[in-house]
Amino acid sequence: MTTTHFLERVRIADAAPRLAGVVRRTPLLPFDAPEPWRELVELRLKLECLQETGAFKARGAWNQIAQLSAAERAAGVVTTSSGNHGKALAWAAARAGVRATIVMPADAYPNKIQACRDFGAEVVLAPSRNACDELCAERVRAGATLVHPYDAERTAQGAGTVGLEIAEDWPEVDVVVTPVGGGGLVSGVGLAMRQALGARVVLVGVEPEGSATLAAGVARGEPVQLPNSSKVQGLCPPYSGAFNIAVAKEVGLKLVQLSDEQILAAQAVLVRLGGWVVEPAGAAGFAAVREGRLPAEVQLARASQDGRRKLRVACVVSGGNPDPAQLERVKRGA
């Protein structure tokens, strides 16, 4: 595998026509950077919390469904998901008239479980993410078509259209910051930015400290299963995908880790000041800016010293499907 293998093969622009008119082109809106970074950073938020099904996952799900063969459509699709991918696949499958099964951990947000059922999918609950993978594998052996939530080229290609839109709307961007779970979004966005704007853009992925599976995978060069101690649902897969690890290394992704408390504090800012419905996972990228954890801190310091323009930073707000009770606590400041 050459160092340009995926950059050459997985063209994000190829997915855009398939998604046109099906998923939303979400806004990239200015938002004041928190102090003390306000004078140094020009910040814009890519609001995938306003996407179909409330998350970027609709992009990858539709990119997969749109390319199924007749035999695959007839066999139906199956996936494992803690919520957003499952909801998106259920939506995409219903739109295309394809049968879908979503295998979910029993502790997933009840609203996400119900959302999958509302789109007509069969939901199978399992006691753990590992058990989810086992049940999903059984369905695949029985003939269903697997639509992996992140470790698949077509999933990441669809998700990467987020980055393509950022590049089109703000070609002057310096840094793009993305939440990281299994790595589907960050790998797709990384490919899109490199293909559209080249090597000058700094790519940053943000993981919870208690579930830093992509950092572990990049360090080892293969998926690593870690014990999870994070409560940020959506960013806690058993492992990051082999495809996503390879792309992260190829595009020069920089990874940072934040505590659950830092991510939740960032969610509160977006909910209270922005007025958006944002789940904790969706706020991880913004949290890195809020906490001053961008790897480009040297550039920030230099910009403040020599009077250069502000650093242009785009953060992907990846999802807006919080647990309703948790969202109400955030709104009340509890």
**pLDDT tens digits for 249-264?**
999 999 999 999 999 9
Mean pLDDT in residue range 80-93: 95
| Mean pLDDT, the chain, whole residue set | 94
Contact between residue 269 and residue 282 where contact means Cβ atoms under 8 Å apart: no
Structural domains in the chain, CATH included, are 5-55+154-332 (3.40.50.1100), 58-150 (3.40.50.1100)
Q: pTM for this one?
A: 0.94
**DSSP per position, 251-284:** HT-EEEEE-HHHHHHHHHHIIIII-----GGGGH
pLDDT interval class at 1 (50, 70, 90): very low
- Convert the pLDDT of each residue in 202-221 to its tens digit: 999 999 999 999 999 999 99
pLDDT classification of 300: cutoffs 50, 70, 90: low
Return the top range by mean pLDDT from 94-103, 222-231, 297-306. Answer: 94-103
Dihedral of alpha carbons 319, 325, 327, 330, sign: negative
Angle in degrees, CA 55, 169, 249, rounded to 5: 65
Give the residue-averaged pLDDT of 8-14. Answer: 97
pLDDT of amino acid 296: 64
Q: 315: pLDDT confidence band, cut at 50, 70 and 90?
A: very high
Residue 130: which pLDDT band, with cuts at 50, 70 and 90? confident
Confidence of residue 307 (pLDDT cuts 50, 70, 90): low
Identity of the residue numbered 7: L
Q: Going along the chain, which residue ranges are E strands?
A: 28-30, 41-47, 77-80, 100-105, 122-126, 145-146, 175-179, 202-208, 254-258, 311-317
Q: Tell me: the pLDDT tens digits for 145-166?
A: 999 999 999 999 999 999 999 9
End-to-end Cα separation, the chain, in angstroms = 50
Give me the pLDDT at residue 301, please.
58
